Structure 1
Amino acid sequence: MAPEPVTAHHIHGLVRQEIVAGAYTPGMILNLNRLTHEFGTSTTPVRDAMNRLVGERLVEHLPGGGFRVRALSPDRLAGLYEWHGQLLRLALASPLPESVREEVSVLARRLDEPGHVAPVASEAFGIVVSVSRNEELAQAFEAVALTLARARALEHLVIPGAVDELSQVIATIAAKDIAASHRIVGRYHRNRIRLSPRIHNMLRPTTAGIGQKRQ
């Protein structure tokens, strides 16, 4: 049997992926007994994994004990988009190195269908933030990006021009005009803030996840 810290790390990764993929939706109760049974382990590593997810703001404690996926209202979703945009603009405060601008620019070639918008955007923005070499900024950005992952995977369903929009964002970031980059990144996020209620309505379970009751 694997040591409990190793098991907890494994469970943390699997449950986090279920949340990001949308199998565990906001507000869903995570049943410790069911998780313990499905993972074939004791309660301790499952609880440790849940507490780690609480620290990542993906899961929250229930009054009186237990855990659930952190609730996500349209207002909170809008706030997450706003925070994501603010962090990205902070990372764009200085000109990007030529090699980084080329790396970001090349990603636009993968925008051949709407379903590719979310992963390309995630990679492009992640590259930009990594260049800042600001650990606190990078950690904050990673946390908000993770929380937004499922919503961002659905954006193209309510933004018909999502491919062209992201292509323009990438092209602008790949240029040297910082002010223009700030403007287009701001517009990109304002569009999503405005559409937050519609995106929120689409956040539904995609599969029966681990610890979730099967029908």
Structure 2
Amino acid sequence: MKQGMQGFAGTGVPDPACGAVRVPAQPTAADVDAGVGVGVGVGMGGGADRGRYGGSGAVRGEHTHSEPPLHRAGAGGEAGSGVGAGPRAAVQRSSVRGQILDALRTALVAGELRPGEVYSAPALGERFGVSATPVREAMQQLALEGAVEVVPNRGFRVVMRGARELAELAEVRALIEVPVMLRLARTVPAERWAELRPLAEATVRAASSGCPATYAESDRSFHRALLTLAGNEQLVQIAEELHRRAQWPLMGGPRARGRAELVADAAEHMALLEALIARDVDVVRSLVGEHFVGVG
């Protein structure tokens, strides 16, 4: 359960089990001068794509910063997954913005979008195989959520967050969620809690993958289902937003937790659910209290 409060370090490359869309780190100035990673399609046969992805890609004054493209499925390439994994037609136009937003959120949690780095919509659009417009719209949504900030004529910078902000998020979450969980522990019938067992088991499977992004999504789903029983949609939305923000990576923060740590957190989900089914309020209080105390 502590996973949602600790965040993930910007490790650059996630565990292969993640299946997260790849958003590689941008080359340094020295790399650009040396021609490393500039205009080369990594997942589509290397030099065969030079020029196709190596143009300026400037849209509305944004620069591409010679960002390397995403891995794509194709000749000589590495099969990826997620929105950026297939050919351009793989992204459904009717839901492209939502898919891009989901992929960017995953990349953010996985540490592929690194704090302090600037990413341009045209370059990311090339990586996903879409125009810059849906990427820009998705990034603007992330800006509203506080995950990125607009850099005029350049793109979007991933916000650099510190331990204090994480501690503040933990405090606010505790103020909201702890009283609600204790009230629900006394009022919700055991059979309603039992219906949530598949979600708790899903967090165990997600933890076993060792992928922080996969586990983060499953963790939020479990917490969302718990709070939904309160019958207050505003509460659920606010709590989910806080939870998502708490999962963003810290600048210079701790590394992404390993499989063993994720599995331990998922086990706490199971323990909490069993305590709720048994209406053991004391155990619920202990588990939920430990979840928030000392986090930061």
Q: What is the letter of the counterpart of residue 102 of structure 1? A: A
Letter of the structure 2 residue corresponding to residue 170 of structure 1: L
Alignment-derived partner of residue 142 in structure 1: 240
Q: Does 1:86 align with 2:175?
A: yes
TM-score by length of 1: 0.67
Secondary structure of 1:60's match? strand
Deviation at 1:140, TM superposition (A): 1.3
Question: How far does residue 137 in structure 1 lie from its aligned partner after superposition?
Answer: 1.0
State how 1:76-115 maps to structure 2 within 5 Å.
Answer: 76-92=165-181, 93-94=183-184, 95-104=187-196, 115=207
- Paired with 1:42 and 1:115, the residues of 2 have a C-alpha distance of 34
Residues 193, 276 of structure 2: 8 Å contact kept: yes
Return the letter of the residue paired with 1:57: G
Q: For structure 1, which runs of at least 5 residues remain unmatched after alignment?
A: 197-215
Partner AA of 2:222 in structure 1? A
Is residue 274 of structure 2 the alignment partner of residue 171 of structure 1? yes
Which string of whole-angstrom CA distances, capped at 9 and with x for unpartnered residues, describes residues 182-202 of structure 1?
3431222214x1xx3xxxxxx
* Contact 1:8/1:46 (8 A) holds in 2: yes
Greater helix share, 1 or 2? 1
For 1:144-191, what per-residue CA distance to the aligned partner results, in whole angstroms no more than 9, with x for missing partners?
22233467x728766996466544433333332546533431222214
Q: Aligned with 2:157: secondary structure?
A: strand
Distance 1:39 1:111 in 2: 28
Matches within 5 A, 1:27-66: 27-62=116-151, 66=155
Distance (whole Å) between structure 1 residues aligned to residue 189 and residue 139 of structure 2 = 40
Distance in 2, matches of 1:129 and 1:75, equals 26
| C-alpha contact 1:26 1:71 (8 A) present in aligned 2 | yes
Q: For the structure 1 residues 72 and 122, does the alpha-carbon distance in structure 2 shift closer, same or farther, using more than 3 Å as the test?
A: same
2:156 aligns to what? 67
Q: 1:77 to 1:106 in 2, by over 3 A?
A: same
Distance of 1:124 and 1:11 partners within structure 2: 23
Kindly provide the amino acid, as one letter, of the partner of residue 128 in structure 1. L
Q: What amino acid maps onto 2:170 in structure 1? A: Y
TM-score (norm 2): 0.51
Runs of 5+ in structure 2 lacking a partner? 1-88, 250-255
Distance in 1 separating the partners of 2:201 and 2:122: 46
Residue 289 of structure 2 is matched in structure 1 by 186
8 Å Cα contact 1:88-1:125 kept in structure 2: no
Closer, same or farther in 2 for the Cα pair 1:124/1:10, shift >3 Å?
A: closer
Larger relative contact order, structure 1 or 2 (CA cutoff 8 Å, min sep 6) = 1
Residue 50 of structure 1: how far off its partner (Å): 0.8
Q: How far apart, CA to CA, are the structure 1 residues paired with 2:152 and 2:230?
A: 39
Question: In the aligned structure 2, how far is the partner of 1:163 from the partner of 1:10?
Answer: 27
- Alignment counterpart, residue 131 of structure 1, candidates 212, 229, 247: 229
Distance 1:133 1:150, change over 3 A: same
